[in-house]
Amino acid sequence: MPNSSNTEAGRLTQLSCTVEEMGMSFSDVVIVLACNEYFVPYTAVTIQSIVEHMSPDRHYDIVVLTRDLSQHSIDTLVGHLPYPNMRLGFLNPEIALHGTKLPHHGHFRPETFFRLLAPWLLPNVRKAVYLDSDLVVLEDIATLYDVDVDGCLLGATRDADTVGMMLGYDGTVGPYLKNDIKLSDPMQYFQAGVLVMNLEAFRYAFTVRDMLSLSTVRVWRWLDQDILNMLADGNYVRIDMRWNTLMDWKHLRREKIIAQDPQELRDQYEAARANPAIVHYAGPDDRPWDYPDCDMGDYFWEYARRSAFVDVLNQRLDDSQNSVAGKLDRAKVSVIFKGIMPLFDKTFPPGTKRRTRAIKSYVAIGGDLG
């Protein structure tokens, strides 16, 4: 483990308030993640997958945006990654938040908004790859970083999941994208779990105040992902979907939701699944750390076994499978997705008006569609 008394190591092994305190060069590949203390074992798997595919000819700076990471977690992460061509730093976004309370709902956490602040938290950095912490990287992330995003705010993959909901699975999505987010073409909605961010372009067009105002003006359905789509309004670099391959959540996403997509988008999704560069475990549950047999879960555990918090991951999996609370939660999920959802689909088929009315009624009584 690095000696924290060393000046350079000390900068890297503490939660910093400014970029200068981290002592990172930002001379080549810059990667941004966000997490809280509870999520750090999953973030560690993402980082493990990144470093195992690094090129020896490139330098990698990984910045974790966090407000509450413990010193133990920081030391564990840094001590596990003794690679000479990478640096890992931890930056507190509070310097940009100034105590702003970030609204969220469902399985989303406030940390998802931190990516909106990256341009100002990294004021001298030209661009960066942003990654959610519920994914694994299967190729050199430098290839993604090298995507040219000049002239746009960002590069991203089209969201086959949201398009499928809009085209029949959930009739409330289209009007929301058109009327609330005010997208010129809702079919171009992108998934924000993997981004190549043109930080310079963001700083030129917007301010931190703009980001915080949009984040707090209301509770958006997909939170900051909706905000980013609103700001770009279809003007973004299309990245191959293999760099953000969504797992087949509950074996529902592929057969029920993406099945509603145009053929060309379905083909892109199937091609990505056949040769993924990033596997993204997006969804409220059915994640590989609780359900190792979930779709594409083997990719996660391949890196988890070598990650910094493998003991924590194994303990959480055991609790999920064997504790009373874990068994009750699994039973509840099983009832919903093996009983209620098939009945709902049969009673209110995708694409029907009565399905849209039923979903609207569910939302009206407080149901969460996140």
CATH number for 256 = 3.90.550.10
Buried b (16+ CB within 10 A) or exposed e, 218-241: eebbbbbbbbbbebbeeebbebeb
Token reading at 105: 């709902």
Give the dihedral sign, CA 236/241/247/251: positive
Tens-digit pLDDT profile for residues 312-348: 999 999 999 999 988 898 888 888 877 888 888 888 8
Sheet holding 278-280, edge to edge: 135-137, 278-280, 245-246
C-alpha distances in Å from residue 171, one per residue of 32, 88, 220, 345: 34, 43, 17, 13
102 in any annotated domain? yes
332 in any annotated domain? no
- Report the domain count for the chain: 1
Range of the domain at 115: 7-324
Report field, pTM of the whole predicted structure over 0.85: yes
Q: pLDDT-derived band of residue 278, with 50, 70 and 90 as boundaries?
A: very high
DSSP-derived pairing of the beta strands 29-34 and 60-65: parallel
Angle at 270 between CA 241 and CA 220, to 5 degrees: 50
Across 147-161, average pLDDT: 97
